[in-house]
């Protein structure tokens, strides 16, 4: 028996090719795509303008399904978080953030994450696997029609679109799962699917330099870079990927990307960590980095109040410090925003998307052991201390 094809896995060109294999003309692919992505249809019988013979063929060869929902929670501020099952004991999270003039969906691209940034609870669980196209675009498909259903809005292009913006800022590093991520992006942008503008789709990366260049050529969307540090020594400790692609290379890649980008700036995300990266000196180093280095980059900064979790050993900068830091950047002529924390009560805030990924790194176990040793041998056990 042939394996059934999940049609959510196919981008517009692949769907045309698939219909060709079935002996169908390219316009059938467009019709099919509209039924799937604009009407949220998963039943071939409901696709009334497709020939009955094609519907019968599809029933025996294809299906349309996003991953199963494990839980669905709505925060007091309207933020909605779905936990979705991606098999092998793993679940990832998708978060919808409603605002007055837009609705933003935060999508995951991997179960777990291999980058292991120090301030991110997702990375502390290690990496399990890449998500498929159907698992990535399926989050948008599932969320758009779930939101419409909740509000009683009809599916199809006439119904008011609930998700106007997509950010690839959920679990995982999108550029380390490149092909499925780009296929999903192409569907988001296609007029016969979601028809989102490139300006309204943002991919967030911790700085995988070669893939930033590749994305610029293949499917440029708005770019956000998880910067979080003003110099290499500090970033090496916070974002281990920096050891492979240091700041000078990252800035050069960002500058190159702007030649193709739909916006004329890159957003730098900067998680505010008390006493670590929030000093006036750090702010001045950032200004030098983006304005006066070998590769100045037109940018805006998004300062993110850290969402603490026990394993990190880090705390959030206080509001006065965050505002003072922002003011230094603003005074240097850099557009700077401070992200509002949303969905804290359902653990849907930035850096909290830990899902229920199997703990490959056994971090909980190791942290507990370390705490026991420190109690026994003193608080400096296992740390590098300077001896004068």
pLDDT tens for residues 322-344?
A: 999 999 999 999 999 998 765 55
pLDDT value at 261 more than 60: yes
Helix residue ranges, H only, the chain: 12-21, 26-37, 52-61, 133-151, 178-189, 209-218, 232-238, 247-257, 280-291, 319-331, 363-377
CB of 37 closer than 8 Å to CB of 192: yes
Kind of pairing, strands 102-106 and 91-99?
A: antiparallel
pLDDT at 224: 97
pLDDT at 307: 84
For 221, other C-beta atoms within 10 Å of its C-beta total 25
pLDDT at 378: 64
> Cα torsion for 277, 281, 283, 286, to the nearest 10°?
-90
Domain ranges for the chain: 5-63, 69-371
From residue 325, give the alpha-carbon distance in Å to each of 24, 228, 313, 320, 329. 59, 13, 22, 9, 7
CB of 326 closer than 8 Å to CB of 303: yes
CB of 306 closer than 8 Å to CB of 350: no
Which of 8, 33, 13 minimizes the C-alpha distance to 140? 8
Kind of pairing, strands 127-130 and 110-112?
A: antiparallel
Chain segment 145-194, per-residue pLDDT in tens: 999 999 999 888 888 889 999 999 988 999 999 999 999 999 999 999 99
Which class in CATH covers the domain with range 5-63?
A: mainly alpha
pLDDT value at 122 more than 80: no
Element (H, E) at 195: none
pLDDT at 1: 46
Helix (H, G, I), strand (E, B) or coil at 221: coil
Identify the band that residue 379 occupies on the pLDDT scale cut at 50, 70 and 90: low
Distance, CA of 21 to CA of 15 (rounded, Å): 10
Distance, CA of 338 to CA of 259 (rounded, Å): 27
* Residue 337 CB contacts under 8 Å (≥ 6 apart), including other chains: 300, 301, 302, 303
Top mean pLDDT of 74-83, 112-121, 199-208 is at: 199-208
* Residue 311 CB contacts under 8 Å (≥ 6 apart), including other chains: 121, 124, 363, 364, 367
Question: 379 or 23: which carries more pLDDT confidence?
Answer: 23
pLDDT at 382: 47
Q: Which residues are catalytic?
A: 93, 350
pLDDT value at 43 more than 50: yes
DSSP 125-180: G-EEEEPPHHHHHHHHHHHHHHHHHHHTPPSSTTSPPS--EEEE-SSS-GGGSHHH
| DSSP secondary structure letter of residue 262 | S
Which CATH number applies to 69-371: 2.40.160.10, 3.30.559.10, 3.10.690.10, 3.20.20.70?
3.20.20.70
User: pTM of the prediction?
Assistant: 0.85
For 159, other C-beta atoms within 10 Å of its C-beta total 17
């Amino acid at each position: 028996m042939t394996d059934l094809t999940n049609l959510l896995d196919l981008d517009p060109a692949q769907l045309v090719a698939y219909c060709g294999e079935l002996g169908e003309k390219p316009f059938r692919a467009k019709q099919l795509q509209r039924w799937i992505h604009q009407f949220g249809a998963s039943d071939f019988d409901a696709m009334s303008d497709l020939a009955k013979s094609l519907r019968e063929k599809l029933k025996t060869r294809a299906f349309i399904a996003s991953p199963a929902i494990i839980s669905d929670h709505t925060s007091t501020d309207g933020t909605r978080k779905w936990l979705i099952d991606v098999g092998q004991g793993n679940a990832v999270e998708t978060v919808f953030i409603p605002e007055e003039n837009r609705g933003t969906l935060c999508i995951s691209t991997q179960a777990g994450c291999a980058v292991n940034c120090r301030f991110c609870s997702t990375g502390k669980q290690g990496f399990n696997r890449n998500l498929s196209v159907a698992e990535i675009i399926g989050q948008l498909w599932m969320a758009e029609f779930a939101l419409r259903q909740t509000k009683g809005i009809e599916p199809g292009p006439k119904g008011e679109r609930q998700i106007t913006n997509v950010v690839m800022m959920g679990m995982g590093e999108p550029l380390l799962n490149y092909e499925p991520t780009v296929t999903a992006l192409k569907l988001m942008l296609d007029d016969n699917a979601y028809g989102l503008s490139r300006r309204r789709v943002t991919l967030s990366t911790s700085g995988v330099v070669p893939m930033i260049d590749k994305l610029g050529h293949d499917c440029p969307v708005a770019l956000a870079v998880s910067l979080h540090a003003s110099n290499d020594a500090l970033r090496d400790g916070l974002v281990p990927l920096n050891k492979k692609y240091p700041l000078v290379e990252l800035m050069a890649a960002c500058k190159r990307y702007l030649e193709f980008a739909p916006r004329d700036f890159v957003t730098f995300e900067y998680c505010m960590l008390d006493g670590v990266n929030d000093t006036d000196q750090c702010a001045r180093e950032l200004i030098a980095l983006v304005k006066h280095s070998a590769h100045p980059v037109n940018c805006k900064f998004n300062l993110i109040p850290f969402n603490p979790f026990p394993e990190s050993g880090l705390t959030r900068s206080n509001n006065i410090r965050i505002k003072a830091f922002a003011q230094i950047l603003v005074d240097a002529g850099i557009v700077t925003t401070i992200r509002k924390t949303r969905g804290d009560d359902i653990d849907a805030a930035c850096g909290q998307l830990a899902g229920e990924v199997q703990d490959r790194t056994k971090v909980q176990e190791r942290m507990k052991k370390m705490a026991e040793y420190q109690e026994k041998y003193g608080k400096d056990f296992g740390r590098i201390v300077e001896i004068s």
